[in-house]
Structure 1
Amino acid sequence: MGEVVKMTEAVSVSDATLRSFMGYHVKRAMSVLQADLNATLKPFGLRMVTYSALVMIVDNPGMRQTQLADALAIERPNLVVILDQLEERGLISRDKVPTDRRAYALNPTEQGRALCAEATDANRADEDRLLAGLSKEQRAAVIAAMNLIEQGGEA
Protein backbone atom coordinates (compact mmCIF):
# COMPACT_ATOMS: atom_id res chain seq x y z
CA MET A 1 0.00 0.00 0.00
CA GLY A 2 1.24 3.44 -0.82
CA GLU A 3 1.62 6.18 1.68
CA VAL A 4 -0.21 9.43 1.30
CA VAL A 5 2.25 12.25 0.98
CA LYS A 6 1.03 15.59 2.34
CA MET A 7 1.99 18.62 0.34
CA THR A 8 2.41 22.07 1.87
CA GLU A 9 -0.69 23.35 0.06
CA ALA A 10 -2.92 20.93 2.01
CA VAL A 11 -3.34 18.80 -1.12
CA SER A 12 -2.86 15.08 -0.60
CA VAL A 13 -1.13 13.08 -3.29
CA SER A 14 -0.50 9.36 -3.46
CA ASP A 15 2.71 7.67 -4.49
CA ALA A 16 1.08 4.20 -4.51
CA THR A 17 2.01 3.46 -8.11
CA LEU A 18 5.63 4.44 -7.56
CA ARG A 19 5.80 2.35 -4.38
CA SER A 20 5.08 -0.73 -6.48
CA PHE A 21 8.59 -0.36 -7.96
CA MET A 22 11.77 -1.52 -6.26
CA GLY A 23 13.72 1.36 -7.79
CA TYR A 24 11.51 3.93 -6.07
CA HIS A 25 12.13 2.32 -2.68
CA VAL A 26 15.87 2.12 -3.39
CA LYS A 27 15.93 5.80 -4.38
CA ARG A 28 14.08 6.89 -1.24
CA ALA A 29 16.27 4.72 1.00
CA MET A 30 19.40 5.99 -0.77
CA SER A 31 18.30 9.58 -0.15
CA VAL A 32 18.09 8.87 3.58
CA LEU A 33 21.40 6.97 3.67
CA GLN A 34 23.20 9.61 1.60
CA ALA A 35 21.94 12.55 3.69
CA ASP A 36 22.93 10.71 6.85
CA LEU A 37 26.37 9.82 5.47
CA ASN A 38 26.99 13.40 4.35
CA ALA A 39 26.14 14.66 7.84
CA THR A 40 28.46 12.04 9.37
CA LEU A 41 31.35 12.90 7.03
CA LYS A 42 31.01 16.69 7.24
CA PRO A 43 33.10 17.06 10.44
CA PHE A 44 35.91 15.22 8.62
CA GLY A 45 35.74 17.58 5.65
CA LEU A 46 34.68 14.73 3.38
CA ARG A 47 31.75 14.03 1.09
CA MET A 48 30.52 10.64 -0.02
CA VAL A 49 32.63 10.71 -3.20
CA THR A 50 35.84 11.95 -1.53
CA TYR A 51 35.38 9.45 1.30
CA SER A 52 34.81 6.62 -1.19
CA ALA A 53 37.96 7.56 -3.09
CA LEU A 54 40.00 7.81 0.11
CA VAL A 55 38.80 4.41 1.35
CA MET A 56 39.64 2.78 -1.98
CA ILE A 57 43.14 4.31 -1.94
CA VAL A 58 43.75 3.27 1.68
CA ASP A 59 42.51 -0.26 0.94
CA ASN A 60 44.45 -0.50 -2.37
CA PRO A 61 47.69 1.48 -2.06
CA GLY A 62 49.46 1.91 -5.36
CA MET A 63 46.31 1.60 -7.47
CA ARG A 64 46.28 3.70 -10.61
CA GLN A 65 43.91 6.56 -11.28
CA THR A 66 42.24 4.64 -14.09
CA GLN A 67 41.57 1.71 -11.74
CA LEU A 68 39.99 4.03 -9.20
CA ALA A 69 37.84 5.73 -11.84
CA ASP A 70 36.60 2.34 -13.03
CA ALA A 71 35.99 1.02 -9.51
CA LEU A 72 33.95 4.07 -8.50
CA ALA A 73 32.33 4.52 -11.93
CA ILE A 74 33.56 8.12 -12.10
CA GLU A 75 34.58 9.89 -15.28
CA ARG A 76 38.33 10.47 -15.29
CA PRO A 77 38.14 14.29 -15.50
CA ASN A 78 35.83 14.32 -12.45
CA LEU A 79 38.20 12.01 -10.60
CA VAL A 80 41.08 14.45 -11.11
CA VAL A 81 39.14 17.11 -9.18
CA ILE A 82 38.49 14.66 -6.32
CA LEU A 83 42.13 13.58 -6.21
CA ASP A 84 43.27 17.21 -6.26
CA GLN A 85 41.15 17.85 -3.16
CA LEU A 86 42.54 14.83 -1.32
CA GLU A 87 46.11 15.65 -2.31
CA GLU A 88 45.80 19.33 -1.31
CA ARG A 89 44.73 18.19 2.16
CA GLY A 90 47.75 15.91 2.42
CA LEU A 91 45.62 12.75 2.52
CA ILE A 92 47.05 11.05 -0.58
CA SER A 93 50.00 11.26 -2.92
CA ARG A 94 50.11 10.69 -6.67
CA ASP A 95 53.36 9.02 -7.60
CA LYS A 96 54.58 8.43 -11.14
CA VAL A 97 54.69 4.77 -12.09
CA PRO A 98 58.27 4.06 -13.19
CA THR A 99 57.19 1.57 -15.87
CA ASP A 100 54.51 3.87 -17.35
CA ARG A 101 55.24 7.60 -17.48
CA ARG A 102 51.57 8.41 -18.15
CA ALA A 103 50.26 6.58 -15.08
CA TYR A 104 50.10 7.65 -11.45
CA ALA A 105 49.97 5.35 -8.45
CA LEU A 106 47.72 6.58 -5.66
CA ASN A 107 48.95 6.16 -2.11
CA PRO A 108 47.52 7.25 1.23
CA THR A 109 49.59 9.36 3.57
CA GLU A 110 49.70 8.63 7.29
CA GLN A 111 47.30 11.54 7.77
CA GLY A 112 45.02 10.04 5.10
CA ARG A 113 45.04 6.63 6.77
CA ALA A 114 44.22 8.16 10.15
CA LEU A 115 41.38 10.31 8.80
CA CYS A 116 40.01 7.38 6.83
CA ALA A 117 39.97 5.19 9.95
CA GLU A 118 38.19 7.87 12.00
CA ALA A 119 35.62 8.57 9.28
CA THR A 120 35.02 4.84 8.74
CA ASP A 121 34.44 4.29 12.47
CA ALA A 122 31.98 7.20 12.52
CA ASN A 123 30.26 5.92 9.38
CA ARG A 124 29.96 2.40 10.81
CA ALA A 125 28.54 3.68 14.13
CA ASP A 126 26.08 5.97 12.40
CA GLU A 127 24.93 3.30 9.97
CA ASP A 128 24.43 0.91 12.90
CA ARG A 129 22.25 3.58 14.54
CA LEU A 130 20.30 4.24 11.36
CA LEU A 131 19.75 0.54 10.65
CA ALA A 132 19.11 -0.52 14.25
CA GLY A 133 15.61 -1.70 13.28
CA LEU A 134 17.05 -4.36 10.99
CA SER A 135 18.45 -7.63 12.28
CA LYS A 136 21.87 -8.85 11.18
CA GLU A 137 20.11 -11.34 8.89
CA GLN A 138 17.89 -8.65 7.35
CA ARG A 139 20.91 -6.44 6.67
CA ALA A 140 22.67 -9.36 5.00
CA ALA A 141 19.56 -10.07 2.91
CA VAL A 142 19.34 -6.45 1.76
CA ILE A 143 23.02 -6.41 0.80
CA ALA A 144 22.63 -9.73 -1.05
CA ALA A 145 19.61 -8.36 -2.93
CA MET A 146 21.46 -5.15 -3.86
CA ASN A 147 24.44 -7.20 -5.08
CA LEU A 148 22.14 -9.33 -7.21
CA ILE A 149 20.52 -6.22 -8.71
CA GLU A 150 23.97 -4.71 -9.37
CA GLN A 151 24.95 -7.88 -11.28
CA GLY A 152 21.88 -7.54 -13.48
CA GLY A 153 19.88 -10.22 -11.71
CA GLU A 154 22.34 -13.00 -12.44
CA ALA A 155 23.51 -15.03 -9.47
Structure 2
Amino acid sequence: MSARPDRTLRQFLGYGMKRAFAAIQTDVNAALAPHGLRMMTYSVLVVIRDTPGVRQSRLSDILLIERPNLVLILDELESADWITRTRAQDDRRAYDLRVTLKGRRVCDRASAAVAAHDSRMAAGLGPEERLALLDALHRIESNGRSSDDDADQVSRP
Protein backbone atom coordinates (compact mmCIF):
# COMPACT_ATOMS: atom_id res chain seq x y z
CA MET A 1 0.00 0.00 0.00
CA SER A 2 1.35 3.47 -0.87
CA ALA A 3 1.97 6.15 1.73
CA ARG A 4 -0.67 8.76 2.37
CA PRO A 5 -0.40 11.63 -0.10
CA ASP A 6 -0.94 14.09 2.76
CA ARG A 7 1.52 12.44 5.17
CA THR A 8 3.67 15.58 5.39
CA LEU A 9 0.64 17.72 6.21
CA ARG A 10 -0.63 15.30 8.87
CA GLN A 11 2.31 16.16 11.12
CA PHE A 12 1.00 19.73 11.53
CA LEU A 13 -1.55 20.67 14.19
CA GLY A 14 -3.35 23.10 11.89
CA TYR A 15 -3.93 20.46 9.25
CA GLY A 16 -5.20 18.01 11.85
CA MET A 17 -7.52 20.66 13.26
CA LYS A 18 -8.75 21.53 9.75
CA ARG A 19 -9.63 17.89 9.06
CA ALA A 20 -11.28 17.49 12.47
CA PHE A 21 -13.22 20.72 11.95
CA ALA A 22 -14.47 19.53 8.55
CA ALA A 23 -15.86 16.38 10.19
CA ILE A 24 -17.36 18.42 13.04
CA GLN A 25 -18.93 20.97 10.70
CA THR A 26 -20.53 18.30 8.52
CA ASP A 27 -21.96 16.46 11.55
CA VAL A 28 -23.20 19.53 13.41
CA ASN A 29 -24.86 20.95 10.30
CA ALA A 30 -26.67 17.63 9.80
CA ALA A 31 -27.79 17.74 13.46
CA LEU A 32 -29.01 21.34 13.11
CA ALA A 33 -30.72 21.04 9.71
CA PRO A 34 -34.01 19.67 11.14
CA HIS A 35 -34.18 22.84 13.28
CA GLY A 36 -33.63 25.17 10.32
CA LEU A 37 -30.15 26.14 11.52
CA ARG A 38 -26.53 25.81 10.50
CA MET A 39 -23.47 25.98 12.73
CA MET A 40 -23.10 29.74 12.29
CA THR A 41 -26.78 30.65 12.63
CA TYR A 42 -26.98 28.46 15.73
CA SER A 43 -23.89 30.11 17.21
CA VAL A 44 -25.37 33.58 16.68
CA LEU A 45 -28.72 32.53 18.14
CA VAL A 46 -27.08 31.02 21.24
CA VAL A 47 -25.00 34.10 22.00
CA ILE A 48 -28.05 36.36 21.59
CA ARG A 49 -30.06 34.06 23.88
CA ASP A 50 -27.27 34.00 26.46
CA THR A 51 -26.53 37.75 26.22
CA PRO A 52 -29.85 39.61 25.93
CA GLY A 53 -29.40 43.05 24.42
CA VAL A 54 -26.00 42.26 22.90
CA ARG A 55 -25.09 44.70 20.16
CA GLN A 56 -24.22 43.63 16.64
CA SER A 57 -20.66 44.93 16.88
CA ARG A 58 -20.03 43.00 20.09
CA LEU A 59 -21.59 39.84 18.64
CA SER A 60 -19.34 40.16 15.60
CA ASP A 61 -16.29 40.36 17.89
CA ILE A 62 -17.39 37.44 20.09
CA LEU A 63 -17.95 35.05 17.18
CA LEU A 64 -15.23 36.42 14.88
CA ILE A 65 -17.74 37.11 12.11
CA GLU A 66 -17.24 39.91 9.61
CA ARG A 67 -19.95 42.51 10.20
CA PRO A 68 -21.46 42.36 6.68
CA ASN A 69 -21.77 38.55 7.02
CA LEU A 70 -23.37 38.95 10.44
CA VAL A 71 -26.02 41.27 9.01
CA LEU A 72 -27.06 38.52 6.59
CA ILE A 73 -27.31 35.99 9.43
CA LEU A 74 -29.33 38.41 11.57
CA ASP A 75 -31.68 39.06 8.63
CA GLU A 76 -32.23 35.31 8.36
CA LEU A 77 -32.89 34.88 12.09
CA GLU A 78 -35.16 37.92 12.20
CA SER A 79 -37.15 36.68 9.17
CA ALA A 80 -37.76 33.41 11.02
CA ASP A 81 -39.02 35.46 14.01
CA TRP A 82 -36.26 34.04 16.22
CA ILE A 83 -34.66 37.38 17.14
CA THR A 84 -35.55 41.04 17.34
CA ARG A 85 -33.36 44.03 16.53
CA THR A 86 -34.22 47.20 18.40
CA ARG A 87 -32.44 50.53 18.03
CA ALA A 88 -30.29 51.14 21.09
CA GLN A 89 -31.54 54.00 23.26
CA ASP A 90 -28.05 55.40 23.82
CA ASP A 91 -26.76 54.98 20.24
CA ARG A 92 -29.22 55.23 17.36
CA ARG A 93 -26.66 53.59 15.03
CA ALA A 94 -26.56 50.42 17.15
CA TYR A 95 -29.07 47.61 17.60
CA ASP A 96 -29.84 45.62 20.73
CA LEU A 97 -30.47 41.98 19.87
CA ARG A 98 -32.85 39.71 21.74
CA VAL A 99 -34.16 36.22 21.16
CA THR A 100 -37.92 35.77 20.82
CA LEU A 101 -39.87 33.04 22.61
CA LYS A 102 -40.04 31.15 19.32
CA GLY A 103 -36.27 31.57 18.92
CA ARG A 104 -35.63 30.38 22.47
CA ARG A 105 -37.65 27.23 21.85
CA VAL A 106 -35.79 26.47 18.61
CA CYS A 107 -32.48 27.22 20.28
CA ASP A 108 -33.23 24.91 23.20
CA ARG A 109 -34.15 22.02 20.87
CA ALA A 110 -31.11 22.69 18.70
CA SER A 111 -28.87 22.79 21.78
CA ALA A 112 -29.97 19.27 22.66
CA ALA A 113 -29.07 18.17 19.11
CA VAL A 114 -25.67 19.89 19.39
CA ALA A 115 -25.01 18.18 22.73
CA ALA A 116 -25.69 14.81 21.07
CA HIS A 117 -23.42 15.80 18.17
CA ASP A 118 -20.67 16.80 20.62
CA SER A 119 -20.92 13.43 22.36
CA ARG A 120 -20.69 11.62 19.01
CA MET A 121 -17.64 13.58 17.96
CA ALA A 122 -15.90 13.01 21.31
CA ALA A 123 -16.70 9.29 21.42
CA GLY A 124 -13.76 7.40 22.86
CA LEU A 125 -12.46 10.36 24.85
CA GLY A 126 -12.71 10.11 28.59
CA PRO A 127 -13.68 13.14 30.70
CA GLU A 128 -10.03 13.98 31.44
CA GLU A 129 -9.04 13.70 27.77
CA ARG A 130 -11.95 15.93 26.80
CA LEU A 131 -10.89 18.59 29.31
CA ALA A 132 -7.27 18.29 28.17
CA LEU A 133 -8.36 18.75 24.54
CA LEU A 134 -10.41 21.84 25.40
CA ASP A 135 -7.48 23.24 27.39
CA ALA A 136 -5.09 22.60 24.50
CA LEU A 137 -7.45 24.29 22.03
CA HIS A 138 -7.78 27.33 24.31
CA ARG A 139 -4.00 27.56 24.60
CA ILE A 140 -3.56 27.32 20.84
CA GLU A 141 -6.17 30.06 20.39
CA SER A 142 -4.34 32.25 22.94
CA ASN A 143 -1.03 31.67 21.18
CA GLY A 144 -2.61 32.96 17.98
CA ARG A 145 -3.72 36.24 19.53
CA SER A 146 -1.66 39.38 19.40
CA SER A 147 -1.10 41.39 22.56
CA ASP A 148 -3.70 43.86 21.21
CA ASP A 149 -6.25 41.03 21.00
CA ASP A 150 -5.50 40.07 24.61
CA ALA A 151 -6.00 43.67 25.72
CA ASP A 152 -9.33 43.77 23.89
CA GLN A 153 -10.43 40.56 25.58
CA VAL A 154 -9.64 41.99 29.01
CA SER A 155 -11.33 45.32 28.40
CA ARG A 156 -14.62 43.84 27.21
CA PRO A 157 -17.18 42.37 29.55
More strand per residue: 1
Match of 2:98 in 1: 107
TM-score using structure 2 length: 0.87
Deviations 1:76-122 (A, max 9, x none): 11111000000000000001111111110000000111111110111
The number of residues matched between the two structures is 145
2:111 is the alignment partner of 1:144? no
Match of 1:68 in 2: 59
Query: Helix, strand or coil for the counterpart of 1:151?
Result: helix
Match of 2:120 in 1: 129
Amino acid at match of 1:152: N
Q: Which runs of 5+ in 2 are unaligned?
A: 146-157
Larger RCO, structures 1/2 (Cα 8 Å, 6+ apart): 2
- Whole-angstrom distance in 2 between the partners of 1:91 and 1:120: 15
Match of 2:9 in 1: 18
Residue of 74, 87, 93 corresponding to 1:83: 74
- Whole-angstrom distance in 1 between the partners of 2:112 and 2:14: 29
Percent of counterpart pairs with the same letter? 50
Amino acid at match of 2:71: V
TM-score using structure 1 length: 0.89
Greater Cα offset, 82-91 or 18-27: 18-27
- Whole-angstrom distance in 1 between the partners of 2:80 and 2:140: 36
More helix per residue: 2
Query: Helix, strand or coil for the counterpart of 1:46?
Result: coil
- Whole-angstrom distance in 2 between the partners of 1:52 and 1:117: 12
Distance 1:13 1:135, change over 3 A: closer
2:111 is the alignment partner of 1:120? yes
Distance 1:153 1:81, change over 3 A: closer
Distance 1:45 1:15, change over 3 A: same
